[in-house]
Each structure stands twice: as C-alpha cells, then as structure tokens.
Structure 1
Amino acid sequence: MKTIYSSFSEAVEEIHDGATIMVGGFGLCGIPENLILALMEKGVKDLTVISNNCGVDDWGLGLLLKNNQIKKMIGSYVGENKEFERQVLSGELQVELLPQGTLAEKIRAGGAGIPAFYTPAGVGTPIAEGKETKIFNGKEYLLEEALKADFSFVRAWQGDKMGNLIYRKTARNFNPMIAAAGTVTIAEVEELKEIGELDPNSIHTPSIYVQGMIQGTQEKRIERLTVSK
C-alpha cells in the first residue's frame, strides 16, 4: 500500500523552496486543484514548475504565480494568464517555452530513463539557439534533453490503495507521463478504491510510479465557458 495522506497540507509537507515540480493538466482540465491550493497555502518560494500551461489568473497554477511562488516556468502555452504576461515583461519570471510535442516527449523521456532525443521541431528558430543539431537522412534535427522533477502532482479519476491510477477522458492529458517523471509522485484522486477493485486492463499509471495518494473533491472549473444563444 502507498502512503494515503489525511490532508492536502500533509501531502505537500515535503515540498521545499527551490523545488522542481511537474503538474498535470491541460488548461484547467485534469489539474490537481487541491494540491495546488495546499502548495499556495504552504507558501514555498522559488519553484521551477513544468506544466503545459500556467492556469488562469485566479485558478490552477495561476494562484502560485500570483503569490510570487514560481521562479521559472517551463511550458507550452501561456495565453490565458495576464499576470503571467506582466511578470515576464517585468523580468520577475523566467520562462522556457517549448513546442507542445517537444514538451510532452521531454517529459515522457524523463520518465522512461531516456536522457535526450532528436526532433525536427524548433530547428532554425530561437528554440535551437545553443543546442546541438544533427543531420539524419538529409534532414536537420535538434537535440532536446529530457525533463524530470523532484515532485510530480497528478489528478486521476480513480486510484486504488496500491497506487494504480485511471484517468477519465480528456482529463488524462499530460498526467500519465508526468506521473512517471517525478522522483516523488503524489496523486489526487476523485475516487479511492480498495486493492483489487480496479480492472487491471484499464490501468493508465501503474503503482510503481506513485509514492503518495489523497482523495479530494474538485471544482472542475471551465476555463472559457461557451454557451449557445
């Protein structure tokens, strides 16, 4: 059995200033809402955060940004956060933007123990500055190094007490690869099951990647609500 935390503050107790943290989710879909809130309340500083995006101004990782807890952001899309823009332009926040496929593969490679890989994405752009390139079959490729983190926060639909996880529909997104790439992975689950209750053929993240779990209820906010007239 994995560590089952009794509170979200307990789940983030080991997070320290200067830690590198990966956070699952795409926009506000599939984000570990309560773990992010607990991290904000803990007040740790100088974090390097690796995630597809940085939430919105008043939710998700945007809360840590607004609280000046993030020193560096490594991601792919930042267009929904005005505070992000302000901090970048003022020099308060370091940013490394990557093509989304490159970001996904850097995380996947980190979890798979692959130190680096070649990709055509980014060749001839500012992303390639200072990086090694190589020709394969007459085409130029860029060397990208894998990403790992001290801690990974993921959100799952169901998990059992062994640490096996199942994600729901598009809330799966970056979560499985981020779960594999953290030295310590903490899963926020909607439903916590007993060992043996989950269908083994439906497991997305095997228990070997998960060190701690906590059950919680999420608001599941919609990033941009569109309704018919």
Structure 2
Amino acid sequence: MPSSKVRASAKDALADVLKDGMLILSGGFGLCGIPSALIEAIRESGVTNLTIVSNNAGIDGVGLGVLLESKQVKRMVSSYVGENKLFMQQFLAGELEIEFNPQGTLAERIRAGGAGIPAFFTRTGYGTAVAEGKETREFDGHHYVMERGIFGDLAVIHAWKGDTEGNLIYRKTARNFNPMMATAAKVTVAEVEELHEPGSFDPDHIVTPGIYVSRLVKLDVIDKRIEQRTVRKREAAPALAGSDG
C-alpha cells in the first residue's frame, strides 16, 4: 500500500498547505541542497506576504530569487545575501524587510525552535547592531544576547535519499540547514533525489527520522548548479626535451 506521505509532484505536496503570510523555512546553503522544485511550486501558487527563513536568498532567477522576482516575499531572515542583486535593490527601495543573523546564531535559532526551546543566550553579536532591541545579560563576566528560537508554519527541504515513510539521508554539503529545518515547522515537505522502500536504509545512516516529515516528492529532474565557478588560467605545457621549440 503506497505511503500517504508521498505525493506525485511538488505542487501536489503543497496544494492545501500554502497560505498568504506564512513563515517558511527553506533549506540549503548557497545553491547547494536547496529545494528548487518546492520553491517553484510556491511561486506558482501565488501566495504572498511571506516571511522566509534561509541562510541566503539564492541568486537572481534561481532558488529563492524566483520568489523575489514575483514579489511574494515580504521579509527575509538570513545570514548572507551578497549574491542576489534583486535582493539588494528591493531592500534599498524599502520593498523588502531584512533581519540579519550571524550564521551560527541562525542555525541555533532553528535548532532551538525544533527542540521546543523558546530562547537562548549567545555572546555572538553583543555590542553590535545585531543586539539592538534585544535583551542582554552578563554571565561569568561575559555579555550575552538573548535570541529567540524559530518555529515555522512550513519547512521545505532537499534530501539525497528518502523512503516512503519520510526517513531522510543527505549528501555531503547538502547536509547544511536542511536537517534542523526539518524539525522546526508545523509541516515539513521534502523533495528527494531517490525514493526507496522502508527498511532500505541502515538506521545509523538516517539523519532526519520520518516522524518529522509530513510529505515528500521524488524529483524527476535534478538541477545542481554552481554558485560561482572560478578557474585559473591554464598554464602552457612545458616544451619536451630535445624539441626545437
């Protein structure tokens, strides 16, 4: 009997979940491990006034960049956004709200949200703009900033392998924000490159247990992009001994 968690497409997986004004956690780091198909389904749905929590905002026309193009995002909670010109333009024009977080703080806020921890203290950001408007305390001679945990309405994540019960395995750098985001939302939807039957995985290899995953969809097309491709100029081959040149 097919699992009730598996959906035929990203659109089907999100059909009755999306609403205007949602807080959505979107996995990935740069363009690695981003849930591209699910992001595209969000764009096609037309929902607006979204708050997106993500390490970054993709690049122009790719990843979360497509939601910026359609102006469906009201607010971003991020660490790094330097690769997206449209992001910068909308921010400077007052069309987009931004809450910047140090990367480790953002990761911990999401982990805390998934663990049911409402707030925690960190030394990172004390005495900077990051701490403005936040409670601070001194512990053992050091100053700390209180940060709130993040728990969203929806998490969209990308995994390498999944089984029909929602157990997930990630591959290399794609194991970034995806695992913690999977735990930190009312509904978690995963897109997977490979879909397997339950019992196919070594239990020690499972990173996200299926209890956290509400729905999943197998990708038919896997588009893996390089955010920045930098190469050095090829050096001329050395002349062979005894050659005339």
Fold match by TM threshold 0.5: yes
Question: 212, 215, 222: which one pairs with 1:218?
Answer: 222
Alpha carbons 2:5, 2:165 under 8 Å: kept = no
Q: Distance in 2 between matches of 1:2 and 1:175?
A: 22
Q: Distance in 2 between matches of 1:132 and 1:72?
A: 22
1:147 aligned to 2:154?
no
Alpha carbons 1:2, 1:211 under 8 Å: kept = no
Give the match for residue 57 of structure 2: 54
- In the TM superposition, residue 227 of structure 1 has moved relative to its aligned partner by 2.8
- In the TM superposition, residue 228 of structure 1 has moved relative to its aligned partner by 3.8
Amino acid in structure 2 at the alignment position of 1:138: G
Larger Rg: 1 or 2?
Answer: 2
Question: 186, 195, 203: which one pairs with 2:189?
Answer: 186
- In the TM superposition, residue 41 of structure 1 has moved relative to its aligned partner by 1.2
Question: 104, 126, 129: which one pairs with 1:101?
Answer: 104
Please give the root-mean-square deviation of Cα atoms over the aligned residues, in Å.
0.8
Give the match for residue 92 of structure 1: 95
Question: 155, 160, 165: which one pairs with 1:157?
Answer: 160
Alpha carbons 1:40, 1:67 under 8 Å: kept = yes
- In the TM superposition, residue 2 of structure 1 has moved relative to its aligned partner by 4.6
Question: 1:50-100 deviations in whole A, cap 9, x for unaligned?
Answer: 000000011000000111000000010000000000000000000000100
1:138 aligned to 2:141?
yes
Q: Distance in 1 between matches of 2:216 and 2:34?
A: 15
Look up the SS of the partner of 1:109 in the other structure.
helix
Look up the SS of the partner of 2:43 in the other structure.
helix
Query: Which residues of structure 1 form unaligned runs of 5+?
Result: none
TM-score for both structures, normalised by structure 2: 0.92
Amino acid in structure 2 at the alignment position of 1:181: A
Q: Distance in 2 between matches of 1:178 and 1:164?
A: 14
> Which consecutive segments of 4 or more residues in structure 1 shift more than 6 A?
none
Alpha carbons 2:56, 2:79 under 8 Å: kept = yes
Query: Which residues of structure 2 form unaligned runs of 5+?
Result: 234-245
TM-score for both structures, normalised by structure 1: 0.98
Alpha carbons 1:118, 1:144 under 8 Å: kept = yes
Give the match for residue 9 of structure 1: 11
Q: Matched residues, percent identical?
A: 56
